[in-house]
Structure 1
Amino acid sequence: MPIIGMCIDLVAPSLPAIGQSFSVAASVAKSVISLYLLGFAFGNFLSGFLIDSYGRQKIIRLSLLGFIVASLMPIYLHSITWLLFARILQGLTIGAVSVTLRSICADVLPPERLTKLGPWFGTMWGIGPVIGPVIGGYLQVYFGWQAGFYFFAIITLIAFIVVFIVVPETHFNRHPLRIVSIKNNITEILKNHVFIGITALMGLSYALMILFNVSGPFLIQTTLHYSPIFFGHIALYLGVVFVLATFLGRYLLKAHTVEKIWLIAINVSLLVGIIAVIVSYFFKDSVILTTLITALMFISCGVVFPISLGKGLSLFRHIAGTATAVMYLVNISISSIVAYFAGFVDMTSLVPLAWMYLFLVFVIAILYWTVLRKS
């Protein structure tokens, strides 16, 4: 699970170096993030049908092997085209791993337990963003951007061996891989407005973190002239904040409903976003303020995303693989689109980043009050 969250954060400190290595614009280097997310979204979506038809075990093994191959491609095929293609392939394969792991949990756990397990998913996934930037920063400074891809290949090989030995087959009530069946399942899911609203909420919340992954390296390393290692440590602190926020979400679930937590977290985030924009005009080059504002956004994501994940998955346990596939296709596609457009924003100061945070939180608030609150 941690490797899933690490695939973005470990690469982030190397984005400026990747741009220099291939002599491409910053927007092209930033697409290393958005294309990975795009592959991740479709990897989740397509594998959802396969694991419901063919089981969990074969898919997760093949996907891990595919990720190893994708990680080695940009090292030995040195071109920006192959790098971008490899990132899409990495996203496709690790997306399949992600949806399979979550479907295994849905196979063996009751709905109420699955909802409470949502924050645990967030915590495990959040380990990657905690350690990934630090590892990526040191690898970049001492070995170059290629070292991160060697790291991916080695760690995933270890994961493959463990999965091959330990993980059993958990899905025996298999659905035939038929177009009509797939269409019916997707139609059932898409007609549930609560599920779609939750999924969109997840995508926008996750985009709060993705904004920093895409824009942070260029703001901190290129504009403010700090090293990749310094950026890695900043991202480490933010990753710790995210993990602690998932624990906070799990604690709040003991005393409050998911709906009440949404209400508080979203309204507080909107207030923070407004204040952030105002203050950013007075401290445009403050790395401390950048970190503080981003940390508050990470708290929002850390609380909202995991509990939304558990809530959404609990609605379709009978077709958990397909539901998870649709969920991640929509929410990660939203994050990918945000990352893509953020790549064209020139990070000359904190001001553009603060405005992007406010815009996302504003859209989240509209979604909550117009869809989820009414439902």
Structure 2
Amino acid sequence: MLREASEQRIRLITIMAFVSIPLSGFVTDIYLPSFPSMARELSVSEKDIQITLTSYLLSYGISQLFVGGILDSIGRYRPKLVALFLLIISSILITMTNSILLICLLRILQGAAVSVLVVATRAIFVDIYDSERVKHYLSYFTIVWSCGPILAPFLGGYLEKLFNWHANFYFLAFYAGFLFLFEWFFSEESLPQKKKLDLSENISLYKMMLKNKIFMLGIFILGLSYSIVMLFNITGPFIIENTFHFTPVVIGYCTLILGFSWMIGGFIGKRRLSLDFGPRILQPILLQLILIAGLITTSFFAEDLFIMIPFAFFIHICSGILFTSFFTTSMLYFPKNAGTAGGLMGGLVYVITSVTSFIISVTGTVTEQKGLAWRYLMIAIILLGIILIMHQAVKKEKAEN
């Protein structure tokens, strides 16, 4: 049992858990600079390539709704091994096909596999540490996770330039293979006491969690905050390459810069966790709306990469602040059912993100900076509305207590 392992071994497991966290970001983002070239090589539309990402996000989200309860019942160790193995195989298979349908199906499989990895990794910290240490480590989750969006497209841009889009998926197979070997030789089960899988009990747990208004509003805020970042991920490569006429390497550098903005937002959000709801949450969303209004206004006079990226940088910082604030507090709502709560939260966040991404994909091709800016605004307005509702709910809860 991992809880009974030596302090040195637990430290090693903790370090490797953090090493594995960016994998989900890599699976999502490494092939973003290859979107235009994939569309050309596979002879499909931009929308079809965007659907490969939406398929992954939807599978990743839906799977987490069920994975939590399963992992609380059968443990974390063996499911992680199976998930890593499936990720290795599916990544290699993607490089061997030119069928966009098969790629979407394999991306669905990858979404399910990564959901197991993410939920199990989050739950391991709850399994082996006390509540204070858990809170400390969870506050770093979004910061460490942001290494994926930072490094993945940057690396993907160079892999695209030096080789082709297939190299991105070979890298994913290598990353997953490294983690598989570590888990096989050094890790073990962390769950101190397995719970019998009881469908009716899980349904009751979900009902109880879904009825918690503040918990659910927090999930919607998480989903919409991440949707703002994902909006650029699915539209930015086409704007940069097809409209501004830059290379995939430039796309990689742009997403690298915006990945840093998410990390910066995470650090700022962590430092602001002790603030009251108003300054902690309302200030970032209002600043974000001002920045989006500035991008829209500027777009009427000039559309340029060196205008779009600085505005997006600060817009994404605001999203990172909001995401980190709500991620930490939401994960601690149900500590006795960490796997189930983490699965429900993560699942719904990505379902929201995937639905938003799908809507963006089917509402027309975004070819201009202005189109990106207006879509930023629509998401941010909805986000503000939900935050105001939550603000009232938090005030009411405090008054009752």
TM-score normalised to structure 1 length: 0.95
1:23 has 2:43 as partner: yes
Cα distance in 2 between the residues matched to 1:167 and 1:90: 22
Q: Which residue of 2 aligns with 1:320?
A: 338
Instruction: Give the corresponding residue for 2:254.
Output: 234
Structure 1 residue 244, shift from structure 2 partner: 2.0
Contact 2:26 2:149 in 1 (8 A): yes
Aligned-partner Cα distance in 1 for 2:184–2:168: 24
Tell me the SS of whatever aligns to 1:374.
helix
Equivalent residue in structure 1 for 2:382, among 346, 363, 371: 363
Question: In 2, Cα distance between the equivalents of 1:258 and 1:233?
Answer: 35
**Runs of 4+ in structure 1 displaced over 4 angstroms?**
none
Task: Give 2:236's match in structure 1, choosing from 197, 213, 216.
Answer: 216
Structure 1 residue aligned with 2:367: 348
Decide which of 195, 198, 201 is 1:178's aligned counterpart: 198
Instruction: Note if contact 1:206-1:305 (Cα within 8 Å) is conserved in structure 2.
Output: yes
Aligned to 1:153: 173
The equivalences for 1:93-112 within 5 A come to 93-112=113-132
Indicate yes or no: 2:345 matched with 1:306.
no
Between the aligned partners of 1:360 and 1:114, the Cα distance in structure 2 is 32
Residue number in structure 2 paired with 1:256:
275
| Deviation of the 1:112 alpha carbon | 4.3
Instruction: Name 1:14's counterpart in structure 2.
Output: 34
In structure 1, give the amino acid aligned to 2:217. Answer: G
CA distance in 2, matches of 1:116, 1:360: 30
CA displacement 1:178-208 (0-9 Å, x = unmatched): 2111111111111111110111100000001
CA distance in 2, matches of 1:265, 1:236: 22
Which region of structure 1 is more displaced relative to structure 2, 159-168 or 30-39? 159-168
- Of 113, 135, 155, the residue aligned with 2:155 is 135
Deviations along 1:65-91, one digit per CA (max 9) or x if unpaired, are 111111111112331111111111111
Write out aligned runs for 1:45-60 (5 A): 45-60=65-80
Percent sequence identity over matched residues? 26
Q: 1:55 Cα shift? A: 0.8
Match of 1:69 among 82, 89, 94: 89
Gap runs ≥5 in structure 2: 1-20, 395-401
Letter in 1 for 2:380: V
SS of residue in 1 equivalent to 2:139: helix
1:243 CA drift (Å): 1.3
Any idea what the Cα deviations from partners look like across 1:5-30, whole Å, max 9, x if unmatched?
A: 11222110011111111111111111
Aligned length: 373
User: In the alignment, what sits opposite 1:292?
Assistant: 310
Query: What secondary structure is seen at the aligned counterpart in 1 of 2:146?
Result: helix
Q: Cα gap change, 1:258/1:54 in structure 2, threshold over 3 Å: closer, same or farther?
A: farther
Contact 2:214 2:393 in 1 (8 A): no
- Asked if 2 retains the 8 angstrom alpha-carbon contact of 1:52 and 1:322, the reply is yes
Unaligned runs of 5+ residues in structure 1 are none
Number of the residue aligned with 1:278: 297
Q: Is the 8 A contact 1:117 1:310 kept in 2?
A: no
